[in-house]
Amino acid sequence: MKNDILGKVYVKQKDVYFKYSANEQWTGEYWLDGKKIYCKVVSVRGFTKDKYVAHNISNLHRVLSCDLFVKFNDGTNHMMPRAHKDNDHDGISIQVNKTNLILQVGQSNGFADATGYAILKYIKTT
Query: Which CATH class for the 15-124 domain?
Result: mainly beta
Q: Is the pLDDT of residue 109 over 70?
A: no
Q: Is the pLDDT of residue 43 over 80?
A: yes
DSSP E strands: which ranges in the chain? 2-3, 9-10, 25-30, 36-45, 51-54, 60-71, 77-80, 92-96, 100-105, 115-124
The Cα–Cα gap between 71 and 105 comes to 16
Give the strand pairing for 51-54 and 100-105: antiparallel
The Cα–Cα gap between 47 and 44 comes to 9
Best CA proximity match to 42, nearest among 61, 66, 17, 62: 66
pTM attached to this predicted model: 0.77
Which of 44-48, 98-102, 108-112 comes out lowest in average pLDDT? 108-112
Between 17 and 94, whose confidence is greater?
Answer: 94
- Give residue limits of the domains in the chain: 15-124
Q: Is the pLDDT of residue 78 over 60?
A: yes
Q: Is the pLDDT of residue 8 over 80?
A: no
The whole-number pLDDT of residue 81 equals: 52
